[in-house]
């Protein structure tokens, strides 16, 4: 967990007057500060990933913010009952994801389809707003949640429910895009076999394996040299 390089001082309105290294002001609400200094559902201990059936990661530490989400999903009721997360990101990303985890776990958990309807705007409203220059940070947790749900769909053979957007389709049967392969490589899948185990790409569809292997090499070189 990381924080912005900022100076913070208390204001009369109960918000924080926060200035970045260029002196530009950001005003954080008490709710944002609470979730930043006391993040809910954050994963601080070593993780036994066998306890979670939906695991997703977005971003890259080499490029900036990165986030990983672990979901425990009640398959019988299609309900997310536990949402854990860990991030290398700014205070706004931490607060936004903390609030998102609370929203998903409320009332004994949230149906998957309902969790997918939660918008960054709804998260910001629950946080009593974010500075305009930090609104994009509320999207990181949402993307990580969708990544974890997609992993759950693939692991349970629900390929028709996999969410696809803004990426090139590589395997239409398994709903796997080049972005999914990229995320798998970032997550440590450095061979075709490991990428297939994570995404199910190319299983029963050998014609695309050459393209998959080329993508794996490309992303390995991009992120790991």
> Which residues carry out catalysis?
63, 137
- Residues in Cβ contact with 220 at an 8 Å cutoff, skipping those fewer than 6 apart: 185, 190
Residue 79 β-bridge partners: 74, 111
CA distances from 15 to 8, 27, 39, 174 (A): 10, 6, 18, 47
């Amino acid at each position: 967990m990381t924080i912005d390089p900022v100076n913070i001082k208390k204001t009369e309105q109960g918000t924080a007057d926060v200035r970045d290294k260029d002196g530009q002001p950001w005003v954080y609400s008490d709710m944002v500060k609470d979730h930043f200094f006391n993040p809910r559902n954050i994963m601080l201990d070593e993780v036994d990933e066998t306890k979670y059936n939906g695991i997703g990661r977005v971003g890259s530490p080499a490029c900036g913010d990165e986030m990983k989400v672990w979901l425990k999903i009640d398959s019988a009721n299609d309900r997310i009952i536990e949402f854990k997360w860990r991030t290398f990101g700014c205070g706004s990303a931490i607060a936004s994801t903390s609030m998102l985890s609370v929203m998903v776990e409320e009332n004994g958990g949230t149906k998957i389809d309902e969790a997918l309807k939660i918008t960054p705007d709804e998260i910001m409203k629950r946080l009593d707003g974010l500075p305009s220059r930090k609104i994009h940070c509320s999207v990181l947790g949402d993307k990580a949640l969708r990544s974890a749900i997609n992993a759950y769909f693939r692991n349970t053979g629900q390929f028709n429910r996999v969410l696809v957007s803004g990426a090139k389709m590589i395997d239409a049967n398994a709903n796997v895009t080049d972005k999914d392969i990229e995320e798998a490589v970032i997550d440590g899948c450095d061979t075709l076999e490991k990428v297939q185990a994570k995404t199910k790409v190319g299983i029963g569809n050998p014609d695309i394996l050459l393209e998959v292997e080329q993508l794996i090499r490309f992303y390995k070189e991009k992120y790991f040299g």
